[in-house]
Structure 1
Amino acid sequence: MAAPFDPSIPFVRAAASTPHPIGVHAGVWVHDWSAPSARTAIEGSAQAGFDLIEIPLPSHRGTAASAAMTRTLLDDNGIDAVVSLALGAETDINTEDVAVSARGEEKLLEAVAFAREIGASYVGGVTFSAMTKYAHPATEASRANSLDVLTRVAATASDADIRIGLEYVNRYESNLLNTAAQTAAFITDLKQRGADNVLLHIDTYHANIEELSQADAVKDAGKLLGYLHMAESHRGRLGTGTIDWPGLFEALAATDYKGPLTFESFSSDIVSPATRDDIGLWRNPWNDPAEVARHAATFLREHLALSASPISRTQPPQRIERAHEDRNTHQRR
């Protein structure tokens, strides 16, 4: 097995202008990972100023862009990649059903293999349960099964120098992990089993529903925090919702967080009908992926710069004021 993981060592390169890698979810650009889509998403991400792209595990590997092509596109455009997935009802490991759990474990190992093939060092997402509305609470047995499966998956990932991220989600999308505190306790159990390469993944959209504040989520995550989805309260354009961005960035600065910050937003103009229906995307928050991506990259870098400056922390950034103007303009249309 590889040497123990040091969470203070970044697993994704950052730009010279910031210690934090700035990322974007491929779903901002495309709805699949065919060869044309891979080129569109990777080239668009690089041109918008991102350091990494988050690639969801292709649902049909046989029709997806080859791993070699993906690696070439990443190298040619000078950006890194991470891999994500969300288990479903038929691949749930938060279960007492042996057959369903086996399919979930196979899916997780497939994601680890895909990450290794494209040179990615992180597999994150809803890796601990199905992303679905459960009709009952999690049981001790289903939680224990999730721990067992993830312990084995983490061991395989560790051999390939890959980290596993656990992205807790809101109560309507999992019955197991809904807060940073719950997730930290779950990861502590995993680490006691030897799974040192497991990290805590905060999504600001879900945290906005379940946490007292974004800052509290960061505090509860502590040193286990390894990845963030930067998503607005309505999953649209950053700065136009109710997320306390200054409070979040101040909390990240206070904990000396250096991991990736990945913009996640969706439009029904881009995502597949299945994804639209799964996440309830009944209206379009935006129409132009290139514009919303460029705005997000600028927004994140401005907030990082402000949070790094003690003098500026108490002053609201102009970007927030402009974002509210953008929102008002959009609402009048």
Structure 2
Amino acid sequence: MKPANCVAIGVAISIGLPADGDISSSDKAVATRGVEILNRTIALTRDLGGQKVGGILSTSHGLQTKPPTRDQWNRSAATLARVAETAKAAGVTLNLEIVNRFESNLLNTAAQGLAFIEDTGSDNIFLHLDTFHMNIEEADVGLAIRHAAKKIGYVHIGESHRGFLGTGSIDFAAIFDALTAIGYNDDLSFESFSSEIVDENLSRNTAIWRNLWADSMELARHARRFIAVGMETARLKAELVSVSQRP
């Protein structure tokens, strides 16, 4: 019997492909390794009862020093289309994280992600949007969310410095308003990093050089309240502007 206060926890796995597993690579061995990583991740997600794989799936995670090529784009799109079929058979969706220019050279904006998904021809690939990255790359985060509405499968809520929500420069009110406007009711996950707890390799790839927090429970409780209040406030605002106030 489950305890009365037991809360169900969902499962979603987010990864970043390594340099030696870059599916956009012209090196067939490297690309094959990337497919193997993705297939293992899909199987693990399925076995844990999850339905989503997110993260940097289209190319390797890390700073690139050359611009992407059309061949790189095409190789990645064709490969992910095949992987998406494997995922579909497992009851899992692929969600491409759109990250800033310092962590990938291929997909940096939601519009690029939409074009990429169209080129895959797959109906099992969606966007994984992250407010930290969008704050760097998008001209208007709210508009980008509205434009990508039909293809958003997963959302990361993160602050501009990746610490406590509301203590940085991101306009979360506009983000919650946009998510409410498009009727988004799927996963909203909080993402934060601190040098005290982040894996060394991930710290290098994401440039986490400062200890922004030490108490993970305090951080998580604050984030849960912040997101809940933000979404509820956006809902109340939407109701106010949509209800006709006839005398």
Residue aligning to 2:92: 162
1:84 and 2:14 equivalent? yes
Residue aligning to 2:209: 282
Give me the whole-angstrom Cα distance separating, in 2, the residues matched to 1:137 and 1:176: 8
- 1:80 alignment partner, SS class: coil
Which structure 1 residue ranges, 4+ long, deviate > 3 Å from structure 2?
Answer: 311-314
Task: Between the two structures, name the one with larger relative contact order (CA 8 Å, sep ≥ 6).
Answer: 1
Give me the whole-angstrom Cα distance separating, in 2, the residues matched to 1:255 and 1:313: 16
Asked if 1 retains the 8 angstrom alpha-carbon contact of 2:181 and 2:238, the reply is: no
1:125 and 2:55 equivalent? yes
Give me the whole-angstrom Cα distance separating, in 2, the residues matched to 1:292 and 1:223: 31
Structure 1 gaps of 5+ residues are: 1-46, 48-75, 315-333
Give me the whole-angstrom Cα distance separating, in 2, the residues matched to 1:286 and 1:295: 12
Counterpart of 1:158 in structure 2: which amino acid?
K
Structure 2 gaps of 5+ residues are: 242-247
Give me the whole-angstrom Cα distance separating, in 2, the residues matched to 1:312 and 1:300: 18
Residue aligning to 1:328: none
Give me the whole-angstrom Cα distance separating, in 1, the residues matched to 2:130 and 2:87: 22
Residue identity (%): 43
Give me the whole-angstrom Cα distance separating, in 2, the residues matched to 1:107 and 1:136: 24
- 2:210 alignment partner, SS class: coil
Counterpart of 1:156 in structure 2: which amino acid?
T
RMSD over aligned Cα, in angstroms? 1.7
Identify which of 150, 165, 171 aligns with 1:244.
Answer: 171
Asked if 1 retains the 8 angstrom alpha-carbon contact of 2:57 and 2:97, the reply is: yes
Give me the whole-angstrom Cα distance separating, in 1, the residues matched to 2:182 and 2:81: 27
The alpha-carbon deviation at position 310 of structure 1 amounts to: 2.4
The alpha-carbon deviation at position 313 of structure 1 amounts to: 7.7
163-172 or 212-221, which moves further after superposition? 212-221
The alpha-carbon deviation at position 267 of structure 1 amounts to: 1.3
User: Within 5 A, what are the aligned runs for 1:106-125?
Assistant: 106-125=36-55
Residue aligning to 2:70: 140
Asked if 1 retains the 8 angstrom alpha-carbon contact of 2:63 and 2:205, the reply is: no
Give me the whole-angstrom Cα distance separating, in 1, the residues matched to 2:237 and 2:147: 23
The alpha-carbon deviation at position 312 of structure 1 amounts to: 8.4
Alpha-carbon deviations, 1:115-134, whole Å to 9, x = none?
11111100010000111111
